[in-house]
Amino acid sequence: MSEKKEKTKRHLVKEHPESYSYEPDSIYPPGAELHFIEERYEIIDGIRYDCSPSPTLKHQLLVTQLWNELHGTCHATGTIIVAPMDVHFDENNVVQPDLIYVTNENASILKTRIEGVPDLLIEILSPSTGEHDKVRKKALYERFGVPEYWIVDIHHRTIDQFALRDGAYALERTYDSTGTVLSERFPCVAVQTGKLFSPLDKYE
């Protein structure tokens, strides 16, 4: 196997075939020092998927910009949270979306973790998570009834906006770097994509 192919293989989301369920007490054993615990993973349909490698600089800048944009217009109507934060759908499905929006009407799901279905979930694509976010997690969010799901593509500087209609996701619109993301469900949303992506220019 070539060095390039081997490197790509190492960076893919790793699936563990054995069955997993969410057990909070087992993640941080008694007496464990948190700075030694480096694993991040998600559980989908009882299968564990490792979240590695760590997010890139551009990824984290974009998460910060998204939080700023949404908080600027939606802080009065809900809570905006960035990863890592567990969204606990059930014992066999626990994920850590990049950004989470929970309306005030839905605030009862906000515990020490999120226990229930958020109103909007956003994932930022990376080479290691593309298929995971676009296929596996999209199907999961659709199944549990997440009203709106955005997939942000750093490389192409686009945002795919999916909305739940009759139990299935419909692509509402794909935004490029010159538009403003609006939401029929959430009137407070007004994300200017040019402002969102422009901080990445200095790192090209």
Q: How far is residue 69 CA from its own chain's centroid?
A: 16
d(CA 152, CA 154): 6
Residue 153, beta-bridge partner list: 158
What is the reported pTM? 0.81
Q: By C-alpha distance, which of 140, 196, 129 is closest to 169? A: 140
- Residue 176: both structure tokens together: 């490029």
Measure Cα distances from 50 to 27, 39, 95, 120, 135 in Å: 14, 7, 11, 23, 16
d(CA 161, CA 163): 7
d(CA 14, CA 20): 14
* pLDDT of res. 40: 81
Q: Give pLDDT tens digits along the chain (204 positions).
A: 444 444 444 445 556 555 555 555 544 445 444 444 457 889 999 999 987 677 889 999 999 999 999 999 999 999 999 999 999 999 999 999 999 999 999 999 999 999 999 999 999 997 766 777 889 999 999 999 999 999 999 999 999 999 999 999 999 999 999 999 999 999 999 999 999 999 999 887
The answer to whether 114 and 86 are in contact (CB under 8 A) is yes
Task: Pick one of 3.40.50.1970, 3.60.15.10, 3.40.50.300, 3.90.1570.10 as the CATH number of 55-203.
Answer: 3.90.1570.10
DSSP, residue by residue, 19-31: E----HHHHS-TT
d(CA 139, CA 131): 11
